[in-house]
Amino acid sequence: MTARDVSGGAWWLTAPRDTTASGRDSGGRVSSPARMMIRPSGEGSQMSSTRHTALSGANHPEAGASGRGAGGTESIEAQSPREWADVIREVYGGLDVMARTQQPFKGVLIRRSLDRLQTVELRISPQFYQRTASLAKQHPSEDLFVTMIVEGQALVVQDGRSCELNAGDFVFVEGQRPYSVILGKASRLIDFAWSQHGVGLSWNERRQVTARTFSAKSPIGRWLSPALLGLHEMEEGVSEFGAARLADGIACLLVTAALELTSPNGPADRWRQQYDEMVRFIKRNIDDPDLSADSLVENFFMSGRSVHRIFAKFGTTPAAIIRDMRLEEARRMMLSRAYQTQSVSFIASQLGFSSLQVFSRAFRAKYGVGPKRYRLEHQ
């Protein structure tokens, strides 16, 4: 599939190069649409420009809270390529848009926010998006996108590479540099957008992961693709604090996936020593109820982002290592003669678990049975 496959008989939509948008936010997005020009590439009839917008949550004064912890939901349906180009530039900033005119036009955008994470769903007829070098310069962006195809197919081009996406596949795209997205058939896709500074990838690492397919059939893709779709479609039941943790957690998982794709044979040796030292520190201090990733930051004189990046290179997080070591120490203590008169609740509190219920759930998830039953069966 090439750009030529989707260009015949189309309306080429673009903003004039000497036009200044009416406003941009700090991330480079246009806060209200720039004036658009339409240049017909062939014969065509007058386009409709009816636009329907439905808002809920924080974006609509008459609607209740969305329940997603932040931001609400915005839904926009465009009736023509002209109108759709306005919508796309309002959300993404500087993009050229080409849509086929020989087929019925479809353009629906659903935008949601989850703390620092923004998700944008597009339900569209065959189209071609291009962010040129000049547009990237005129409309700077610090967004790092993860684009997932839910239905249809796509071809993504960036940094001298191209990749094809089928249903469930996803790819990294960086808004700071030129890129193209070609949709040869009616498609449904979702963009997950973080600030590039909020994801634990260096500039070189970001250039290495763009335009590389993360297959839905790969070991990571089999569970991460459904998780991304579920995150976008989640409607309620998440507090602001929970929303922030979910967004950060998904970002950490995606970093792990990105590093796994670019370094399939394992992390570089230069990270192994630091990782092993931090794991040994956790083991020595596992009985400290205040032990956390912040303890590693303080004792190893590193930023929190650097600590998480090192653990991500080995497919885990500080919290996961601390939890697993605490559970193993709790299991050992429950079977030790020195603690045979102590209750399970006491042992859990000694190891920093906030309650017996929290400890029991974690223990059952790891060992398959609850702690009290495990103790009875193994004493």
> What's the pTM value of the predicted model, to 2 decimals?
0.56
**What pLDDT was estimated at residue 102?**
61
pLDDT digit string, tens, across residues 202-229: 777 788 888 988 888 888 888 888 988 8
In the block, tokens 């191209």 appear at 162
Residue 49 has pLDDT above 80, yes or no: no
In the block, tokens 């779709």 appear at 229
Out of 195-199, 238-242, 264-268, 353-357, which region has the weakest mean confidence (pLDDT)?
Answer: 264-268
Residue bearing the bigger pLDDT, 244 or 111: 111
The β-bridge partners of 154 are 165
Asked if residue 164 and residue 30 are part of one domain, the reply reads yes
Residue 293 has pLDDT above 50, yes or no: yes
Are the C-beta atoms of 294 and 304 separated by less than 8 Å? yes
Residue 313 has pLDDT above 60, yes or no: yes
Asked if residue 336 and residue 249 are part of one domain, the reply reads no
| H helix or E strand, kind and range, residue 171 | strand 170-174
Residue 297 has pLDDT above 80, yes or no: yes
Asked if residue 119 and residue 252 are part of one domain, the reply reads yes
Distances (CA, A) of 148 to 173, 198, 374: 11, 20, 42
Domain end call among 195, 229, 262: 262
Residue bearing the bigger pLDDT, 62 or 101: 101
Asked if residue 113 and residue 229 are part of one domain, the reply reads yes
Residue 276 has pLDDT above 70, yes or no: yes
**What pLDDT was estimated at residue 264?**
52
Residue 77 has pLDDT above 70, yes or no: yes
CATH value at residue 310:
1.10.10.60
The β-bridge partners of 199 are none
Asked if residue 208 and residue 283 are part of one domain, the reply reads no
**What pLDDT was estimated at residue 174?**
92
| Percentage of residues of the chain with pLDDT beyond 70 | 74
Domain end call among 229, 262, 295: 262
The one-letter code for the residue type at 361 is R
Residue bearing the bigger pLDDT, 104 or 320: 320
**What pLDDT was estimated at residue 100?**
66
In the block, tokens 């299991």 appear at 331
Asked if residue 134 and residue 17 are part of one domain, the reply reads yes
**What pLDDT was estimated at residue 149?**
95
Asked if residue 229 and residue 275 are part of one domain, the reply reads no
Which tokens is 243 given? 């929303």
What is the average per-residue pLDDT within 328-355? 89
- Kindly give the residue spans of alpha helices, DSSP state H, lying in 65-171: 81-92, 133-138
In this structure, how many other beta carbons lie within 10 angstroms of the beta carbon of residue 335? 13
Asked if residue 323 and residue 227 are part of one domain, the reply reads no
Are the C-beta atoms of 76 and 89 separated by less than 8 Å? no
Asked if residue 287 and residue 213 are part of one domain, the reply reads no
Mean pLDDT of all residues belonging to the chain: 76
pLDDT digit string, tens, across residues 22-32: 333 433 333 33
Asked if residue 115 and residue 34 are part of one domain, the reply reads yes
Query: What range defines the domain where residue 323 resides?
Result: 269-378
Domain end call among 262, 281, 296: 262
Instruction: Give, in degrees to the nearest 5, the angle at Cα 157 between 152 and 159.
Output: 150
Asked if residue 204 and residue 109 are part of one domain, the reply reads yes
Asked if residue 202 and residue 334 are part of one domain, the reply reads no
Residue 335 has pLDDT above 60, yes or no: yes
Are the C-beta atoms of 345 and 339 separated by less than 8 Å? no
- Rounded CA separation 231/36 (Å): 34
Number of domains in the chain: 2
- Rounded CA separation 321/115 (Å): 26
